[in-house]
């Protein structure tokens, strides 16, 4: 998919919280982590960046936060050049695998990093209890973070990213190590931030999490944006009807029923075919896969002739459902995996593609 | 900007506060102060608590004023041994991890993503590393100030010069530790290599001290020989003049200087002295290139020992030293054995010469060049830190 073509149209310069036209990073040893990223994040939206491990997600976020020096960078954040230190005052950041000094209490962590963001002391004092409560850590503020569980550290990390009342919040794997209840809480926090008009940039490999909260997503593969847009935009043209036959149908029965109605690609003995792809006279694609017929349309009228023809040929239809690709389907398609392989593959990639040290981290 | 600096220092204090070693060092500092506060001096002698300390030569408050005793104790026990060695090692152990921990994964992202430049972040963190030394030496000096005031009867504000001096001394080592921390990212490696450098500096210092001691000794010998020769020459001229007068020969010209032959005729034993003087000159000649090389080497490296010794220079004047030397009645005057021509030196005088040689080295040479070294090392560390990817 062409990344350029899927940029959100119609946005003026001031509408973009993050506007990247060309970001590249080549590490020593010629490892190309990013190959010219083009990406736009609208103000006030929740934007999800996804991609397999090693795709360059964390590298991109670290470049935005001046942690890594880019090889090439053209872009702005809140209208200021990426790399300018001043704009960081207006950005909240939770790094992946962050580590807070174990001798600090939760409240001291919030105070210290907010002071590093030049938040005045009275504001810090006022926000600490408020944000600890927001992340459900109000009873743990005076306890040293060395005694926190991973989920608790993650919650305090999110609170710390909000201490400077940022316009943009960049959360790198915020649900990492958090239990299901915690994940739900974090989703609610993200939704709350959207309600307050904040721009939230989420970096995650948990696709279902992103799907639930993101307005727009970008899929990063091998240091390039494979696609970006709203879920609707990304799934446009990929929605379909699926007609499932009952078990025990004779092989080729479906293919035998469809000629005349569906024009199959190529020639051959249809009776011997157990699958194939063709299209209706009205242009919708049709795919036959064993006892399953997929029709590339959202219009129920378009599948009626197929149903009629199948029933005329004695086929028993078990179910008809409208299918909308999930984010996971889009992701798998972008990384070149077949649909349905899902989370298992994602987990395998995570362990196999773990880069050495920090270089090329996604 | 000031908010960030304060935050980093408060954080450093919290980190120190959480370290057991910091408080152990603090307690040991208190113990050292208590030990020398327990030492007393009066007309009868020196006491530790109620017990008189036997000394090879009688020392009491008439020969050694209490104020000088306590200042000497502060300098030799408190500064030279405790702060410049033991506490410095403890301080290095406590602070060597500051830079490697800062640049470790998970921590550095939190700091670099803040609106603070990399060089300012690094240098402020470096400065917070000096906080350990500053707090230790501050508390120790304040306690010593009270002890010297109460026990010695002298309220010496000059003692507080120890704070900047010891911190500067520690900073020479800590800048190397910080550079190694950036390069190796390892606390142990940076600590060990810093201690290794410190040992190297100690060896260089010891070599310098030895060369200086030999040089001072040789110069003192040479001067003693020269003085003896001059006296002998004058005496020879007088004797020659007297002989001529007795013999009715024409007098020697006005201002006649006796030659070596004249001397050897009149005082044959002076030959040995002349030979010894030439030998001393020759030895000094051989020593000079070594002294020059060591001096050159020391010019480019930090001068840890001399920096600490500056305090002694400022707290104990040459007049104090001379008074202490004059009180030392056991000292033997310089004399020459006429049969061998060998000189026996007044060691007090040699020590005074050594002090003059040590104090002859300028503060600029001692601290200025050391600080230039520190700036270069810190510059390299900042350069590496500012360019690294995290």
**Tens digits of residue pLDDT in A187-225:** 999 999 999 999 999 998 778 778 888 999 999 998 999
Best mutation target, A67, A100, A157, to test chain B (most B CBs within 10 A): A67
Q: How many CA atoms lie within 13 A of B234 on its CB side?
A: 5
CA-based nearest distance A67→chain B, Å: 5
Question: Does residue B309 surpass a pLDDT of 70?
Answer: yes
* DSSP one-letter code for B84: I
In this predicted model, what pLDDT tens digit does every residue of A103-135 receive, in sequence order?
Answer: 999 999 999 999 999 999 999 999 999 999 999
Q: Which of the two residues, A74 and B67, has the higher pLDDT score?
A: A74
Output the CA–CA distances (angstroms, integers) from residue B94 to A83, A255, B80, B182, in the order listed. Answer: 34, 78, 20, 17
The radius of gyration of chain B from alpha carbons, rounded to an integer in Å, stands at 28
Chain A residue with Cα closest to B109:
A67
B86 bridge partner residues? none
CA-based nearest distance B286→chain A, Å: 53
CA-based nearest distance A77→chain B, Å: 14
Question: Does residue A250 surpass a pLDDT of 80?
Answer: no
Q: Is the dihedral of CA A85, A87, A92, A96 positive or negative?
A: negative
Nearest by CB to residue B113, choosing from A66, A108, A119, is A66
Count how many pairs of residues, chain A against chain B, have C-beta atoms within 8 Å. 86
Q: Which of the two residues, A312 and A167, has the higher pLDDT score?
A: A167
In this predicted model, what pLDDT tens digit does every residue of B212-267 receive, in sequence order?
Answer: 999 999 999 999 999 989 988 999 988 988 988 888 888 888 888 888 888 888 88
* DSSP one-letter code for B145: H
Chain A residue with Cα closest to B386:
A69
Dmax over Cα atoms in chain A, in whole Å?
80
CA-based nearest distance A352→chain B, Å: 20
CA-based nearest distance B364→chain A, Å: 37
Beta strands in B43-146 (DSSP E): 45-48, 51-52
CA-based nearest distance B104→chain A, Å: 9
Helix (H) or strand (E) holding B61: none
Q: Give pLDDT, residue B336.
A: 77
Contact between A261 and A255 under an 8 Å Cβ cutoff? The reply is no
pLDDT band at residue A345 under the 50/70/90 scheme? very low
Q: Which two tokens stand for residue B176?
A: 């190397």
Output the CA–CA distances (angstroms, integers) from residue A361 to A52, A223, A354, B295, in the order listed. Answer: 10, 11, 7, 51
Q: Reading across the β-sheet that carries A240-245, which strands appear in turn?
A: A262-264, A275-280, A285-289, A292-295, A240-245, A317-323
pLDDT band at residue B329 under the 50/70/90 scheme? low
Q: Of A93, A136, A98, whose CA–CA distance to A114 is shortest?
A: A93
Q: Return phi, psi of residue B38, to 5°.
A: -80, -10
CA-based nearest distance A88→chain B, Å: 6
- CA B329 – CA A290 distance, rounded (Å): 116
Best mutation target, B2, B94, B105, B114, to test chain A (most A CBs within 10 A): B114
Question: Does residue A90 surpass a pLDDT of 90?
Answer: yes
| Chain A residues touching chain B at CB-CB below 8 Å | 27, 62, 65-69, 85-89, 91, 93, 95, 97-101, 103-104, 108, 111-113, 115-121, 357-359
* Model ipTM over 0.95: no
pLDDT band at residue A3 under the 50/70/90 scheme? very low
CA-based nearest distance B163→chain A, Å: 28
Nearest by CB to residue A112, choosing from B7, B112, B389, is B7
Q: Which residues from A are below 8 Å from B14, CB to CB?
A: 101, 103-104, 108
Best mutation target, B1, B14, B115, to test chain A (most A CBs within 10 A): B115
In this predicted model, what pLDDT tens digit does every residue of B154-182 receive, in sequence order?
Answer: 888 888 999 999 999 999 999 999 999 99
Alpha helices in A65-136 (DSSP H): 106-116, 121-134
Q: Return phi, psi of residue A224, to 5°.
A: -135, 150
Q: Reading across the β-sheet that carries B45-48, which strands appear in turn?
A: B39-42, B45-48, B51-52
Whole-model pTM: value is 0.82
CA-based nearest distance B372→chain A, Å: 30
Q: Give pLDDT, residue B110.
A: 94
Interchain proximity B4–A118, CB inside 8 Å: yes
pLDDT band at residue A251 under the 50/70/90 scheme? low
CA B388 to chain centroid:
39
Q: Give pLDDT, residue A358.
A: 39
Q: Give pLDDT, residue B62.
A: 80
Q: Which residues from B are below 8 Å from A111, CB to CB?
A: 7
- CA B181 – CA A343 distance, rounded (Å): 41
- CA B200 – CA A109 distance, rounded (Å): 41
Interchain proximity B11–A104, CB inside 8 Å: yes
pLDDT band at residue B330 under the 50/70/90 scheme? low
Q: Give pLDDT, residue A34.
A: 94
- For the residues A159-179, what does the mean pLDDT come to? 92
Nearest by CB to residue B113, choosing from A67, A103, A121, is A67
Q: Which two tokens stand for residue B285?
A: 């000649």
Q: Give pLDDT, residue B269.
A: 86
- For the residues B106-115, what does the mean pLDDT come to? 94
Interchain proximity A86–B106, CB inside 8 Å: no
Q: Give pLDDT, residue A232.
A: 82
Domain A240-323 has CATH 3.30.70: yes
Interchain proximity A99–B105, CB inside 8 Å: yes
Q: Which two tokens stand for residue B232?
A: 């002998």
- For the residues B287-295, what does the mean pLDDT come to? 93
Domain range annotation of chain B: 2-194+359-387, 210-307+316-356
CA B59 to chain centroid:
25
User: What is the homologous superfamily of the domain A13-233 according to CATH?
Assistant: P-loop containing nucleotide triphosphate hydrolases (3.40.50.300)
- Give the strand pairing for A46-50 and A199-203: parallel
In this predicted model, what pLDDT tens digit does every residue of B125-141 receive, in sequence order?
Answer: 999 999 888 998 899 99
Q: Which of the two residues, B327 and B23, has the higher pLDDT score?
A: B23
Q: Is B248 left (phi over 0), alpha (psi -120 to 50) or beta?
A: left
Interchain proximity A67–B4, CB inside 8 Å: no
Best mutation target, A70, A95, A108, A355, to test chain B (most B CBs within 10 A): A95
In this predicted model, what pLDDT tens digit does every residue of B352-383 receive, in sequence order?
Answer: 888 888 888 899 999 999 999 999 999 999 99
Q: Give pLDDT, residue A341.
A: 39
Residue intervals of chain A classified under CATH 3.40.50.300 are 13-233
Chain A residue with Cα closest to B101:
A101
Q: Among the listed ranges A254-268, B204-218, B278-292, which one has the minimum average pLDDT value?
A: A254-268
Hey, is A78 helix, strand or coil? Answer: coil
Residue B174 CB contacts under 8 Å (≥ 6 apart), including other chains: B92, B95, B126, B129, B130, B133, B194
* DSSP one-letter code for A271: G
Best mutation target, A31, A116, A150, to test chain B (most B CBs within 10 A): A116
- For the residues A82-87, what does the mean pLDDT come to? 92
Q: Which two tokens stand for residue B383?
A: 């350069």
Contact between B343 and B332 under an 8 Å Cβ cutoff? The reply is no
Q: Of A33, A35, A61, whose CA–CA distance to A47 is shortest?
A: A61
Question: Does residue B332 surpass a pLDDT of 70?
Answer: no
Q: Which two tokens stand for residue A361?
A: 């981290």
- CA B43 – CA B241 distance, rounded (Å): 55
Q: Give pLDDT, residue B325.
A: 67
pLDDT band at residue B327 under the 50/70/90 scheme? low
Q: Give pLDDT, residue B312.
A: 84
Question: Does residue A351 surpass a pLDDT of 50?
Answer: no
Percent of chain A with pLDDT over 90: 45
Residue intervals of chain A classified under CATH 3.30.70 are 240-323
Contact between A357 and A278 under an 8 Å Cβ cutoff? The reply is no
Q: Give pLDDT, residue A361.
A: 38
Interchain proximity B106–A62, CB inside 8 Å: no
A229 bridge partner residues? A217
Q: Which residues from B are below 8 Å from A125, CB to CB?
A: none
Q: Among the listed ranges A92-96, A182-186, B174-178, which one has the minimum average pLDDT value?
A: A182-186
* Average pLDDT score over chain A: 83
Q: Give pLDDT, residue A40.
A: 93
Most confident region among A10-19, A291-300, B201-210 by mean pLDDT = B201-210
Question: Does residue A267 surpass a pLDDT of 60?
Answer: no
Residue A182 CB contacts under 8 Å (≥ 6 apart), including other chains: A151, A154, A155, A175
Question: Does residue A7 surpass a pLDDT of 60?
Answer: no
In this predicted model, what pLDDT tens digit does every residue of B85-103 receive, in sequence order?
Answer: 888 898 899 899 999 999 9
| Chain B residues touching chain A at CB-CB below 8 Å | 1, 3-4, 6-8, 10-11, 14-15, 17-18, 104-117, 387, 389-390
Nearest by CB to residue B14, choosing from A89, A103, A117, is A103
Interchain proximity B389–A93, CB inside 8 Å: no
Chain B residue with Cα closest to A100:
B107
Nearest by CB to residue B18, choosing from A103, A115, A119, is A103
Interchain proximity B7–A86, CB inside 8 Å: no
Q: Which residues from A are below 8 Å from B10, CB to CB?
A: 112
CA-based nearest distance B19→chain A, Å: 9
Contact between A77 and A91 under an 8 Å Cβ cutoff? The reply is yes
């Amino acid at each position: 998919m062409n990344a350029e073509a899927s940029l959100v149209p119609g946005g003026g310069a001031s509408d973009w919280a993050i506007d990247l036209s060309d970001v590249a990073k080549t590490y020593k040893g010629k490892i190309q982590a990013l190959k010219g990223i083009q990406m736009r994040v609208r103000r006030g939206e929740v934007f999800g960046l996804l991609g397999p491990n090693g795709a360059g997600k964390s590298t991109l976020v670290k470049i935005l936060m001046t942690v890594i020096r880019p090889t090439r960078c053209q872009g702005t954040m809140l209208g200021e050049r990426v790399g300018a230190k001043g704009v960081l005052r207006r950005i909240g950041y939770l790094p992946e695998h962050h580590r807070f000094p174990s001798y600090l209490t939760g409240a001291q962590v919030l105070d210290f990093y907010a002071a590093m963001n030049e938040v005045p002391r009275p504001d810090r004092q006022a926000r600490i209890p408020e944000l600890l409560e927001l992340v459900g850590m109000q009873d743990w503020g005076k306890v040293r973070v060395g005694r926190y569980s991973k989920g608790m550290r993650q919650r305090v990390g999110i609170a710390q990213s909000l201490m400077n009342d940022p316009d943009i919040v960049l959360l790198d794997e915020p649900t990492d190590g958090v239990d299901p209840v915690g994940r739900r809480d974090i989703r609610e926090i993200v939704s709350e931030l959207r309600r307050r008009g904040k721009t939230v940039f989420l970096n995650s490999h948990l696709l279902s999490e992103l799907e639930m909260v993101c307005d727009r997503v970008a899929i990063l593969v091998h240091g390039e944006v494979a696609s970006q847009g709203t879920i609707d935009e990304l799934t446009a043209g990929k929605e379909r009807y699926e007609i499932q036959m009952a078990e025990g149908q004779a092989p080729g029965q479906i293919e035998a029923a469809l000629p005349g109605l569906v024009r199959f690609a190529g020639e051959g003995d249809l009776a011997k075919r157990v699958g194939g792809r063709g299209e209706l006279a009205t242009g919708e694609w049709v795919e036959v896969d064993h006892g399953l017929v997929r029709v590339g349309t959202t219009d129920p009228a378009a599948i009626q002739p197929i149903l009629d023809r199948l029933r005329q040929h004695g086929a028993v239809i078990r179910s008809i459902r409208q299918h909308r690709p999930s984010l996971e389907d889009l992701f798998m398609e972008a990384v070149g995996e077949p649909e349905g392989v899902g989370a298992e593959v994602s987990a395998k990639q995570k362990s196999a593609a773990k880069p050495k040290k920090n270089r090329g981290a996604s | 900007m000031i908010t960030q600096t304060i935050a980093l220092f408060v954080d450093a204090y919290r980190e120190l506060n959480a370290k057991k070693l910091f408080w152990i060092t603090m307690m040991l500092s208190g113990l050292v102060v208590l030990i020398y506060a327990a030492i007393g001096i009066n007309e009868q002698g020196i006491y530790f608590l109620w017990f008189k300390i036997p000394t090879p030569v009688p020392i009491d408050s008439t020969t050694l004023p209490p104020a000088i005793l306590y200042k000497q104790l502060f300098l030799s026990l408190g500064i030279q041994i405790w702060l410049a060695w033991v506490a410095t090692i403890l301080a290095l152990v406590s602070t060597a991890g500051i830079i490697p921990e800062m640049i470790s994964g998970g921590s550095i992202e939190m700091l670099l993503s803040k609106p603070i430049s990399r060089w300012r972040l690094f240098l402020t963190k470096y400065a917070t590393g000096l906080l350990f030394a500053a707090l230790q030496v501050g508390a120790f000096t304040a306690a010593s100030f009270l002890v010297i005031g109460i026990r010695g009867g002298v309220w010496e504000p000059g003692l507080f010069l120890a704070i900047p001096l010891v911190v500067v001394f520690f900073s020479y080592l800590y800048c190397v530790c910080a550079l190694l921390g950036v390069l190796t990212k390892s606390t142990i490696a940076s600590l060990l290599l810093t201690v290794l450098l410190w040992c190297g500096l100690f060896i260089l210092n010891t070599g310098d001290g030895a060369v200086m001691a030999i040089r001072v000794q040789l110069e003192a010998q040479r001067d003693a020989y020269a003085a003896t020769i001059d006296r002998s020459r004058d005496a020879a001229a007088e004797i020659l003049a007297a002989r001529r007068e007795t013999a009715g020969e024409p007098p020697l010209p006005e201002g006649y200087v006796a030659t070596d032959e004249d001397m050897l005729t009149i005082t044959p034993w002076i030959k040995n002295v002349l030979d010894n003087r030439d030998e001393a000159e020759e030895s000094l000649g051989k020593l000079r290139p070594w002294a020059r090389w060591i001096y050159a080497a020391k010019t480019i490296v930090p001068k840890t020992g001399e920096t600490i010794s500056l305090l002694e220079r400022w707290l104990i004047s040459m007049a104090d030293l001379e008074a202490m030397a004059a009180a030392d009645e056991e000292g033997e005057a310089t004399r020459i054995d006429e049969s061998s021509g060998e000189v026996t030196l007044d060691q007090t005088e040699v020590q005074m010469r050594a002090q003059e040689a040590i104090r002859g080295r300028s503060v600029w040479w001692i601290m200025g060049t050391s600080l230039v070294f520190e700036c270069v090392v810190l510059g390299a560390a900042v350069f590496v830190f500012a360019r690294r990817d995290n």
